[in-house]
Amino acid sequence: MNFFARQDEARRLSRRLIVLFAIAVAAVVVAVDFVVFTVLASLHPASGGFALPTREWIFAHPGVAATTTLSVLGVIGLSSLYKTSMLAAGGGAVARSLGGVRVSPDTIDPDERRLLNVVEEMAIASGAPMPEVYLLEQESGLNAFAAGHNPSNAAIAVTRGALVTLNRAELQGVIAHEFSHILNGDMRLNLRLMGLLFGLLAIAVVARTVLRVGGRGRSRRGGVAAIVLAALAVLAIGYIGLFFGRLIQAAVSRTRESLADASAVQFTRDPGGLKGALMKIGATGGSRIAHPESEEVAHMLFAPGMRRLFATHPPLIERIKAIDPHFDLRDIDTLRARLIADSRVRQDETAPLEPPSQLRAAGPGQFAALPPAAGAAALVGNPGLAHMRLARELRETAPPAIVKAAAHPASARALLIALAMDPHTDAREKRRAYVVRCLPSAASAVEALQAQVDALEPEQRLPALLRASPALMQLTREERMQLMSALNGMLQVQGRTSLHSYVLRKVAQVHLRDEIEPTARVRMLRLSEVQNDAHVLLSVLARHGHAEEAAARRAYEIGMHHLYPRNRPAYASLDQWASALDLALSRLDRLAPPAREQLLEAMVRTVTHDEQLTIGEAELLRAVCAALHCPLPPLIAARSSAPPVSQTRQNLSKR
């Protein structure tokens, strides 16, 4: 199952979840109505004692039926909305609710440094924004989770027990598992589950409150006794509703956890890492989370955090055997004995990194791997071992000034603006003057960073933008809104516009918007509704990839034919392409996953029709994909003679 299929499955599961929740709510409403009607009918003087409500009695008291039904719906709905609004702050809010502490980018703790490095490498390899990283300091169990509404406001939390017990390969397997949840759309589904389950729990909480208040009364006769009995019945109904809600939660979670395990192995191409992490959970006694609110996030955890009736994860042994069919249960006993003898087993962070055979990063002026259209679509959301190795090299060779700037909110804002500046002198001066007017506090920092940003190689620019994401989330909402407005205003300034700078601006805007409005809903569009938008995108890609008009037209036709084999607009060289492309990308981002996959294939056909793909074109393709929420890993040059990125940089510096 590729990225687009996984995203589509998550959307179907989300719709199914809403339907099942609606059925559960309807059942709870009917049951509570029945209890209330029975109590009121029994209290009627003419009843002579206990009496079931008749149809005539219900029709004779429509106000009671309406009041009870609306009250129950109000309690469930408002409670769900309250919980959902609390979770709107993103994954960091969930991590902090469990006692998580954000890991500072300036940390000198070797374990925390290793964690940040692994998360950053996974973000670079997958082409996704780097999430915030939290440490559950008080938790000794081996566990982790990812939370958030989308990749732009995601957070990954890891327990201290996992951090000190797992070696680098095992930690990488766990982080890859969590990144699968981020990329596959599981996080939004998980937060929706939390909100809906809290609504069902609210009925039981209200009944428990009524029981506590009613239990203080001295009289147990008449109305008070009836109310207490009714509260007991509603309490039972509430917990029965919650029971079925958690049954749904467990069923959804088990499916997605199995998928995340498979994706993690595919990401790292190292089944031993994830297998080792799972084996250590079995050998050390488990993954328990002691925090009292752990039940709410049970379905989000890497491994079960508590004992419960309905398991949210497949059995541990089953997960290990899915990774290694030859697994022997006695291996856990052997590992347990070794862990007792050795307090910790860790792979040295500074160990030399062997480059993958026949796979190197393409340097400036070289050519990246030429993926077939379907092959590029299969890469989306599916980084492999070669991408992980390249990501580690890109992280280790990043200029110190860029790393430092990406670590703190104010300097990360300046870095973002510097990346968005056009290389053309006339356009840069106009946009610099605009930044001075709209963001005067950032102008000097942008100027100080511009030289280092201009020196970045093409493959370093998008990672620099992605690594700044956690620091940007520390800005106030008003500051983020001002930054997004400034990026939009830079687009409106007249002057020559570089397509690479434009796309980086667009990616930054998309990530900021996703973080500011994480729960915004839009109607999905069909390919037939975005023909003009696809025409704009493929025309711009064709024009910027070819100097000759005839070659650009052929590239455009190849891509558009894949989307619209019969009727399609003719190729056009757009003068005001930036504003047209801005609107087109915003609409194309609303395509359903299967249609988005077709669009990506069409883009690849257009860009690669001349059978050459420079590193600049490859990074442009990745940036456009990022703007469309299709994170594409770095494209690798399959040439044994191509020097690594660090060597290419050294050669350039000597010229």
Cα dihedral 301, 303, 309, 312 sign: positive
| Measured distance CA(140)–CA(164) in Å, rounded | 9
Query: Which pLDDT tens digit goes with each residue over 317-332?
Result: 888 988 888 888 888 8
Give me the percent of the chain exceeding a pLDDT of 90: 16
The better pLDDT of the pair 298, 555 is held by 555
Inter-CA distances, 290 with 160, 247, 307, 584, Å: 12, 22, 11, 49
Residue of 62, 70, 25 whose CA lies nearest to 40:
62
Top mean pLDDT of 339-348, 555-564, 633-642 is at 555-564
- Amino acid identity, position 280: K
Q: How confident is the model at residue 118 (pLDDT cuts 50, 70, 90)?
A: very high
| Measured distance CA(37)–CA(446) in Å, rounded | 68
pLDDT at position 365 over 70: no
- Amino acid identity, position 429: E
Structure tokens, 402: 């860029």
Q: What average pLDDT does the segment 611-625 reach? A: 77
Long-range interactions of 478-482: CB distance < 8 A, separation 24+: 479/409, 479/413, 480/512, 480/515, 480/516, 481/516, 482/438, 482/439
Q: What average pLDDT does the segment 516-541 reach? A: 85
Query: Which pLDDT tens digit goes with each residue over 378-413?
Result: 788 888 778 888 888 888 889 999 999 999 999 999
Query: What are the residue boundaries of the structural domains of the chain, listed by start?
Result: 3-89+191-254, 92-188+278-341, 364-383+523-653, 396-516
464 alpha-carbon distance from chain centroid: 19
pLDDT at position 117 over 90: yes
- Average pLDDT over the chain, rounded to whole? 79
Residue of 66, 89, 85 whose CA lies nearest to 77:
85
> Residue 158 has what pLDDT?
95
CB 3 within 8 A of CB 183: yes
Q: Find tokens 């190729």 and name the residue.
A: 571
Inter-CA distances, 265 with 2, 196, 275, 633, 634, Å: 14, 32, 9, 16, 18
pLDDT at position 221 over 60: no
Q: Which of 202-216, 255-269, 561-575, 595-609 has the lowest mean pLDDT?
A: 202-216
List the end-to-end C-alpha distance of the chain, in Å, as a whole number.
47
Long-range interactions of 62-69: CB distance < 8 A, separation 24+: 64/36, 64/37, 64/40, 65/33, 65/37, 68/32, 68/33, 68/36, 68/37, 69/29, 69/33
CB 413 within 8 A of CB 479: yes
Q: How confident is the model at residue 362 (pLDDT cuts 50, 70, 90)?
A: very low
Residue of 144, 131, 140, 142 whose CA lies nearest to 105:
131
Assessment of whether the complete model's pTM goes beyond 0.95? no
Q: What average pLDDT does the segment 76-85 reach? A: 81
pLDDT at position 652 over 70: no
Does the annotation mark 393 as catalytic? no
Long-range interactions of 577-582: CB distance < 8 A, separation 24+: 577/497, 577/536, 577/539, 577/540, 577/543, 578/491, 578/497, 578/502, 579/491, 579/492, 580/536, 580/540, 581/502, 581/536, 581/537, 581/540, 582/491, 582/506
Catalytic residue among 9, 139, 178, 601: 178
Domain 92-188+278-341 -> CATH class: alpha beta
Beta bridge partners of 360: 637
Q: What average pLDDT does the segment 572-582 reach? A: 84
The better pLDDT of the pair 239, 166 is held by 166
The better pLDDT of the pair 88, 290 is held by 290
Q: Which of 302-316, 401-415, 564-578 has the lowest mean pLDDT?
A: 302-316
pLDDT at position 347 over 60: no
> Residue 73 has what pLDDT?
85
Q: How confident is the model at residue 640 (pLDDT cuts 50, 70, 90)?
A: very low
Beta strand pairing call for 132-136 and 155-159: parallel
| Measured distance CA(596)–CA(65) in Å, rounded | 48
